[in-house]
A and B are shown apart, each in its own frame.
Chain A
Amino acid sequence: MSDAIMTPAAVAPSPIRTIAAKDIRDALRDRFVLIVTVFLGIAAVVALLTGAIALRNDVATYDAAKATLLALGKSAGEIKAPEFYPLRLLRGAIEQIEIIGAAISILIGYRAAASERGRQTLALMLTRPMRPWQFVAGKALAGIALLAGGLALVLGMLTAVLHLSSGVGLVPDDLLRIAIVWGVAVAYSACFFLVAFILTLHMRQISHALLAAFAVWLTLVLIAPQVGDTLDPDNQVAGGVFAQLQISKPDQTQIMKGFATFEALRNGIEEASVTKHFERFTFAVLGIKSTYTGMALWPVLVEMTSNLIWIVMTVLGLGALALALPLNPDRLAKA
């Protein structure tokens, strides 16, 4: 490139990129993101391993029972073989991402915004030729990139453990499903990141913003699914009400028709939470929910489109809100 065409506009990196790069460098240096990622990684791997150990026990029990039956000269068909789909072992890990991952995203969002408060760095930045939204976008992108990296590490680690511990090995279709789950997990975590980021940038006191973000987390991640879960009558009797009454699946559907309003209310409460959409989408794609186990990927994706749209619309809506809200330099000057 010749000097003649090296105008400042051509070579200066965009302010968004500069701010994002600085934030990522900061985050990597203070090791906070690394520590919380390791925490999530441990939680997820523990979930996977305990599931794998329990499954191995089921297989051993089945093998022993089968051997006994064969020795007695009976058919092994009398006992049900445990089904083994390696991706289903990810259930606990996905739930950890759903709960702890969301909490960690709040912390990263809080720190991204809190790092600019109580210091005079904002004045130094906003007196450069840059628009306030670019400042916000740079910080938000850095945070989301860190989340994406952290989740890639966690899911990568899970994939490796799953591959080694299952003894079956993963096929490309499994890897594609995990990659899709990673993408959706990034979008899901970004929702919580943005909630904390927006609250911390705009609330009067940052510690209150953190608590308010946790209140949102409690409501979406735990309370809404809890209410929905409790209203599921099958969860209210140990072993399930239908199992206790010995009623088969088609008959259950018939009986539940009489409780359509109740079911609609239950579903509505669950639908209000982005967490439930994440759970439904990932459980379907990974075949954790038995209805989708062994089903081809494309039809699952088609059926789960509405859940995906919910997640994407939530993250885009929050992103737009973060960019649209005007910054208050006076407030940012105070911690």
Chain B
Amino acid sequence: MSPRWLVARQSALFVLRERTVALLGAMFIVLVLISAWLGWSATATVDGIYQQATVFLKAAGRTVPPNPVFDMSPLFLMRNMSVYVALIGALSAIVIGNRLVCLDRKAGVLPLIGIRPLSQGDYAIGKIAALGALIAGLSIVAAVAATATFLVLPSIQLSLLQWAQLVGFMVVSAVYMAIFGLIGLATGAWSRSETVGLLLPVTAWLALTFILPQLTANLNPTAAINPISALAAPPDIGFFHWTAQILGPFSLADSFKFASARLLDYLPPDISPPSFIPPFLDLLLALVAATALAWRSLTGLAMTQGDYNV
């Protein structure tokens, strides 16, 4: 067994044993299941309202518009999953990244690892691989829940393309979570205090989720909890054009929302993302940058002691 694999396996198993990580992971999975129910329930209600409205409109002698439910792709049922990935998925990833490096620093075993015949690059690869495996695990569980939902609802049939889109959404979700996980890994390795190591990525997440969309598209913070309201077109003013140009590429929450909306078939045709970089490419670039950051922090970690100050 190679040292990288050993570090990855030991770290992943260790993190899985932690109750807080288990709590956040369980929350994420339960919410994925709830999101399936929510999507179904809300869609059924819209359909019910339409049926009642039809009676009402016919009685009033007015024309009945088409049922909005028929315009919806079956993938629309899973729209809330994009919100849960952006909120709890990203936060869980930060915590996982932080714990992966914290476990060695807090235990004070870095010198004991540092004198084994493995390079610091092996150590970094082991940690990044552990993060990748844990996030892939979360995504696979979410994918299984989504697939099961589609399979048990007999009225819903997905085309091959739609199945591919669902897989694509899961991959994009994993990438988005991995970006935050890698930042958590980097700050956990780099910061002197355990608390700061956790707070820095959380602050970055707060800013990306709730502040940047306000600047790029005048979106109020609570729009982040609604996949539909989060896709409003920005006001057509110079200020928002400029902020979209400058801040758009950094507004990862926006990129994720647009990528998800496209894959889950709920992107309105007249709305485009704020960044000039396409959302998928933007997320990939952020993944590369976050990996570089994590690599740099992990390979630069002082193995002499490494424990936190506080």
Report A's interface with B, CB cutoff 8 A: 39, 42-43, 46-47, 50-51, 53-54, 57, 91-92, 95-96, 98-100, 103, 107, 110-111, 114, 118, 207-208, 210-212, 214-215, 218-219, 222-223, 225-227, 229-233, 235-238, 241-242, 244-247, 251, 254-256, 258-259, 262, 279, 335
Contact = CB atoms under 8 A, between A and B. Distances in A.
A238 B220 contact: no
B280 interface: no
Contact of B195 (A39, A99, A207, A238): A207
A214 B91 contact: yes
Contact of B226 (A96, A99, A230): A230
Interface of B: 18-20, 23-24, 27, 31, 34, 38-39, 41-43, 45-46, 48-50, 52-53, 56-57, 62, 65, 68, 80, 83, 87-88, 91, 95, 102, 194-195, 198-199, 202-203, 206-207, 210-211, 214-215, 218, 220-222, 224-226, 228-229, 231, 235-237, 239-240, 268, 310
B23 A215 contact: yes
B215 A236 contact: no
B210 A218 contact: no
Tell me the interface secondary structure of chain B in the complex.
helix
A211 B20 contact: yes
Tell me the interface secondary structure of chain A in the complex.
helix
Contacts of A208: 18-20
Contacts of B42: 230-233, 236
B210 A100 contact: yes
The 5 A-B residue pairs with the shortest CB-CB distance, nearest first, are: A226-B225, A95-B221, A211-B20, A54-B235, A233-B45
A238 B221 contact: no
B67 to A, nearest CB: 9
A245 B31 contact: no
A83 B288 CA distance: 46
A244 B68 contact: yes
Best-surrounded residue of A246, A255, A335 (most CB of chain B within 10 A)? A255
B48 A99 contact: no
Given A254-B56, A255-B53, A256-B49, 6 more contacts: A103-B206, A111-B195, A207-B194, A219-B27, A229-B225, A231-B42
Contact of B214 (A46, A103, A114, A251): A46
A258 B83 CA distance: 29
